[in-house]
């Protein structure tokens, strides 16, 4: 790997620039650099993990070192984006800002999307993304404990008897309430409760940077540039030729620019580059290169937390915060696996405070995955995994240092509220089970009267919901007539030499935590770039690679 100070040297002759070193960008850079004829530059706005003090927790997966989830977190590695809510309210949502992206600071959950997700993707014009092809990619990625020769990225499932007391109580309560133990939540059509498959080695989080970037660091055709925000993509006519950095310096690429900045920042990069809705670009005096629905169809999994206080001795410092969960289908969508519960033993949000002469405008502003509750709570996060509420992400100016406007429209449809009510009522029942009441207090703020009334429960959910940080689909992969932004290989319509390959291209939000599907998309598109073959024309992927 060339030293950072040498990267501006034009003699390096980059063939590919990958913008964003998150869960997707790490895989993309690694796969493209496997072609010895290519010279790859990976550009990241945040720091490299090697620069961080390990005491900040980014390497220890027992807790999730994000603001609103942990008492200790590192503001240097979080974009902390502002998300607009109805009535002028807002909340801040963690979005990783470092090499490895979300995989470097999240819970590490590696759930596959479902067969029904693939069927949706195919209906949008993506016939190369059916289940059989997608399953092959997961098999190639997953390094399973039971098979030493499999995959590349480790997946570990905690044994029930080795879990913390709160996690064990959740499993018992879930079984009592109709969600029996499932050995593998990634098994096709699996519904029930079980251990989350997690990317870890003991207590150590294994990120995309660990698996895919660390082995590349001494390769002559791989280069990484950190602490370097990108303003926009440069074009000659309709061909992408490189990137303009936020510090006004240019870096050129002879073959392609690949955006992997995530479902919030990839749309912003495209819009500043003149690719996006005409109405938005014209309002900001940005010359229109292509009129595409960039920033539309933004999706996220809304989470409604059912929280309680741990009883003395129920939680021991050093317990894993996340170990067990459940997946199942709502009454309206049998087989969709559109609902999810995640048991958490440790979640910490600071109490609401106000600055001098700045009274608190809204009790909802500092929401976390614990809703409006502060301090150490435990309980169940209830996720609506196939929401029908969609939003938008749009730049507010041409300034690359100004974050885009994010409006997700959580729980804005009757179908989403109905799904959320089902999940919350079941979670409340599980928390009140004998097993969980041995370790937790009754649910905080959730009374029998609220549970019994759809109207009261809707009001309560709308006051408590948060984000799961799972933004997707803002640069949708679909046929152009179906509102697509990119084709099945991630190529942006109407221009040349430009791809997007991150969570933003996932056609519809998967019924699963989004890190693993995002890495699956990146793996497949990365191989397409490396081999100069469209996605869908590749041979069966060898799981040992």
> What residue has token string 């179908």?
415
Where residue 424 falls (left for φ over 0; alpha for ψ -120 to 50; beta otherwise) is alpha
Which of 436, 391, 433 lies closest to 409, judged by CA?
Answer: 391
Paired with 275 in beta bridges are 290
Known binding residues: 230
Q: For residue 439, what are the contacts with CB-CB under 8 A and spacing of at least 6?
A: 165, 166, 169, 310, 311, 314, 378
Q: Which two tokens stand for residue 535?
A: 């996605």
Q: Which two tokens stand for residue 391?
A: 């939003």
Where residue 100 falls (left for φ over 0; alpha for ψ -120 to 50; beta otherwise) is left
Which of 511, 518, 532 lies closest to 153, judged by CA?
Answer: 518
- Helix residue ranges, H only, 87-190: 115-123, 131-141, 165-176
Handedness of CA 32, 36, 38, 40 (dihedral sign): positive
Query: Which run of H or E residues covers position 448?
Result: helix 448-452
CB-based contact 337:511 (threshold 8 Å):
yes
CB-based contact 525:28 (threshold 8 Å):
yes
| Letter string b/e over residues 369-388, b meaning 16 or more CB atoms within 10 A of that residue's CB | bbbbbeebbbbbbbbbbbbe
Query: What is the spatial distance between Cα 240 and Cα 253, in angstroms, rounded to a whole number?
Result: 8
Terminal-to-terminal C-alpha distance of the chain: 22
Query: What is the spatial distance between Cα 114 and Cα 520, in angstroms, rounded to a whole number?
Result: 13
Query: What is the spatial distance between Cα 461 and Cα 411, in angstroms, rounded to a whole number?
Result: 9
Q: For residue 495, what are the contacts with CB-CB under 8 A and spacing of at least 6?
A: 235, 238, 239, 240, 275, 289, 290
Q: What count of Cα atoms within 13 Å lies in the side-chain half-sphere of residue 496? A: 6
CB-based contact 500:260 (threshold 8 Å):
yes
Which of 183, 213, 22, 126 lies closest to 483, judged by CA?
Answer: 126
CB-based contact 225:7 (threshold 8 Å):
yes
Q: Which two tokens stand for residue 16?
A: 């590919």
Known binding residues for FAD: 230
Q: What count of Cα atoms within 13 Å lies in the side-chain half-sphere of residue 442? A: 4
| Full DSSP string of 403-435 | PPEEE--TT-SHHHHHHHHHHHHHHHHHHTSHH
């Amino acid at each position: 790997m060339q030293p950072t100070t040498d990267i501006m040297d034009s003699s390096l002759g980059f063939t590919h620039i990958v913008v964003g070193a998150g869960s997707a960008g790490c895989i993309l850079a690694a796969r493209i650099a496997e072609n010895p004829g290519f010279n790859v530059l990976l550009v990241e706005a945040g720091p490299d993990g090697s620069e961080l003090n390990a005491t900040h927790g980014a390497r220890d997966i027992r807790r999730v070192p994000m603001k609103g989830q942990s008492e200790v977190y590192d503001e240097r590695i979080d974009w902390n984006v502002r998300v607009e809510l109805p009535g002028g309210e807002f909340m801040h949502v963690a979005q990783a800002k470092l090499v490895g992206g979300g995989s470097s600071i999240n819970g590490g959950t590696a759930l596959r999307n479902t067969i029904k997700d693939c069927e949706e993707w195919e209906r949008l014009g993506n016939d190369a993304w059916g289940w059989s092809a997608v399953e092959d990619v997961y098999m190639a990625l997953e390094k399973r404990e039971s098979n030493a020769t499999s995959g590349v990225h480790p997946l570990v499932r905690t044994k029930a008897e080795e879990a913390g007391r709160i996690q064990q109580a959740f499993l018992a309560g879930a079984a009592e309430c109709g969600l029996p133990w499932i050995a593998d939540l990634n098994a096709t059509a699996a519904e029930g409760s079980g251990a989350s498959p997690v990317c870890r080695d003991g207590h150590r989080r294994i990120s995309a940077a660990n698996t895919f970037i660390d082995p590349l660091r001494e390769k002559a055709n791989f280069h990484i540039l950190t602490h370097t925000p990108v303003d926009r993509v440069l074009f000659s006519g309709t061909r992408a030729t490189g990137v303009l950095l936020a510090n006004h310096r240019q870096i050129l690429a002879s073959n392609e620019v690949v955006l992997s900045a995530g479902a919030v920042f990839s749309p912003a990069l495209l819009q500043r580059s003149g690719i996006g809705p005409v109405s938005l670009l014209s309002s900001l005096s940005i010359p229109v290169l292509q009129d595409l629905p960039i920033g539309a169809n933004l999706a996220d999994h809304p989470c409604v937390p059912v929280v309680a206080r741990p009883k003395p001795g129920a939680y021991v410092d050093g317990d894993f915060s996340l170990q067990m969960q459940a997946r199942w289908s709502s009454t309206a969508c049998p087989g969709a696996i559109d609902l999810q519960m995640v048991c958490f033993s440790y979640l910490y949000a600071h109490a609401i405070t106000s600055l001098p002469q700045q009274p608190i405008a809204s009790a909802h502003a500092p929401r976390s995955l614990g809703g409006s509750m502060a301090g150490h709570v435990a309980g169940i996060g209830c996720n609506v995994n196939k929401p029908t509420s969609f939003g938008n992400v749009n730049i507010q100016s041409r300034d690359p240092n100004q974050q885009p406007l994010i409006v997700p429209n959580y729980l804005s449809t009757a179908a989403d509220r109905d799904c959320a009510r089902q999940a919350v009522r079941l979670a409340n029942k599980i928390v009140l089970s004998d097993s969980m009441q041995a370790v937790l207090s009754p649910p905080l703020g959730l009374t029998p009267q609220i549970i019994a009334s759809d109207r009261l429960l809707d009001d309560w959910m709308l006051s408590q919901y948060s984000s799961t940080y799972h933004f997707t689909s803002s640069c949708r992969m679909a046929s152009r007539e179906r509102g697509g932004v990119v084709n099945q290989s991630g190529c942006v319509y109407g221009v040349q030499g430009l791809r997007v390959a991150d969570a933003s291209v996932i056609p519809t939000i998967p019924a699963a935590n989004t890190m693993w599907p995002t890495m699956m998309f990146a793996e497949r598109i990365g191989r397409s770039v490396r081999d100069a073959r469209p996605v869908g024309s590749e041979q069966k992927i060898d799981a040992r690679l």
